[in-house]
Structure 1
Amino acid sequence: MLSRLPVPDEGKDYEGLYNLEGLFANTPSNWRRLLTDPSWREAVAPLLRGKTEVEENPAHPQLLRRLYATELLEFVVQQRNASKYRVYQNGHNSLYPRFAKSGIALDYELRDSTLYDWIHNRLVQCAFGREQQKLFLNTKFFWGWDIWFTMERGGRHHRFCWRFLHRDIVQEVEVGAELRLRVLVRSHEMQGKDSRAICDLLLSRLSGQRVIIRHGER
């Protein structure tokens, strides 16, 4: 059904997706609303005619395509609290249960696909089970906002964070008796690069080139 939503006018978004209670629940009350709401009429009509296959539309915004063209919704509908999942827009598009402290970022495809490749090529390790983050099996989605990972280099393990708000990669370092975050790779420097090129850029910065200490961040 999501794959059949019309492409929004320029400058507009799918406001009906945000904070909509029970959107991902297979309940009578949710279906009643979707079947009778005029804003969903164009998407519901093909279902009533028996067309249930997904038809990916390249003109759809990334948010919508990541919802219906990945394994993400399959994961959500299998949760006991699927009815509590909502799409939120607060500077970033995210998906998580109501009142939860963490969730899934929907507009961080570069971060998630890059980390996925690094993990499966054994270039880095993620601290799954800690700091409320994990990688969903068979997907490239992470649960959590700031994603922490470690890399071994020169016989040492270096700890990094790919940040949710700023989208850059920082390294955790000791400054005297304190832990600080040192910016290594800015978000704009990663645009247009593949996972290997971003890894090479990170390694070059780890060698001591162009680093900035962000005092007071933790």
Structure 2
Amino acid sequence: MSNTKKTANFIMAFFSTIMFISIVSRIIMPYISNLNENIVNNVVFPILLTIALLFFGSFQGLLRYSYNKKILRSSSVLLSASTDKFNLNERLWYYLLVALIYFLPILKNPLSSKMIIIRIILFIITLALIEILLKLSNRTIKIHFLKNGILITGFDIRIGLPIVYGTQIHNDSGYYSYNDIENYFIFPDYIDLYLILKQGKLTFKSNSELARQVSGILKQNKIEMKKFT
């Protein structure tokens, strides 16, 4: 996905999340107005912010899916494969933001041990939920070899920022022309496609038959196998 689309995606998801939380807040306000202030500050608000974070990631995923689905529908697919697992760096944004939601208030204002324990429990539950959602998201993502390029698509809920300098591409959802691929290498159970300008790589699971087919497509597009020295 181009930086322009990434920026548009981020902005649309950001403002949609603000609208979503505003609506949810108005709906639940009558129900929480009589609750203890400690419960509201240490339980309700963190959960609300967690919902906002998940909505933001899911909305970005929905936008990516809609963009890529249009490309997929108008293209003939030569072959498809499952991508590699999300790596730690791709999970870090969720980990960091969830940690800020649950622990930043503890650093700013002293809380009772009971409230701290509640926040820790909610933090653990949230991380477990996010891990499950990321695994489910990962299973939907496929790499499709098209006539003129490669498309990675699925319900991708990874948090995507418009521009992060120094960040390497790792199976980012979007379209890549064959000119974007510098070279490739076939490993026993997976294949790496290395992007030009050392931007990163596309990695997907493979077997001997798939490797043979992929190698044929890449050779047709004059992409050579990488030589390690």
Say which structure, 1 or 2, has more relative contact order (CA 8 Å, 6+ apart).
Answer: 2
Specify which structure has the higher proportion of helix. 2
Give the TM-score taking structure 2 as reference length: 0.26
Specify which structure has the higher proportion of strand. 1
Larger Cα Rg: Structure 1 or Structure 2?
A: 2
